[in-house]
Amino acid sequence: MSFAFSPSAGSKLYVQINSNYTEISGAEGIPEFGAEKGTYDITSIGDSAKSFATDMPDYGEVTITGIWDSTDAAHAHLLTSAASSASTDVFKAEFAKKAGGSAAASAIFSGLVLSFRVSAAKGSPQKFTSKIKLTGAVNWTAAS
């Protein structure tokens, strides 16, 4: 089996609203995310070198940026979630298909929307930035 790259163009990020996935329009990309195990020191006083064990994986945080549309349902949902103290949302990252592929790789994860901020600057479109803390594991589906 030979290695084949997958393009980034055509990838999309969604948030679940009322049991339906809604595209986060204007998103500039899908930020890096995935599992990273923590470690803890298990060295005893008689050891001659440090020893470590692994902890549960942490799936990290993502920061999404893009062009803001105040009428977009996903943008409004993220803004509301950021202002809610007890809100966990479900997200789906759908990566573009490989050339000749029949299905794209995807990942579904839960996250706490920590922030949703907007900005405007001369000579630029209005933009948004949203920070999401992943909670629980990421459910990956490989491309085919």
Per residue in 59-70, pLDDT tens? 999 999 999 999
Kindly tell me if the per-residue pLDDT of 92 is higher than 80.
yes
Confidence category of residue 100, pLDDT binned at 50, 70, 90? confident
Alpha-carbon gap, residue 82 to 28, rounded angstroms: 20
pLDDT per residue as tens digits for the range 113-143 = 999 999 999 999 999 999 999 999 999 998 8
Cβ atoms of 103 and 96 closer than 8 Å: no
Beta strands in the chain, from DSSP E residues, in sequence order:
12-17, 20-23, 36-41, 52-58, 61-67, 89-94, 106-119, 127-141
- 12-141 CATH: 2.30.110
pTM greater than the 0.85 cutoff? yes
Cβ atoms of 92 and 123 closer than 8 Å: no
For the chain, the structural domain boundaries read: 12-141
Average pLDDT over residues 90-96: 93
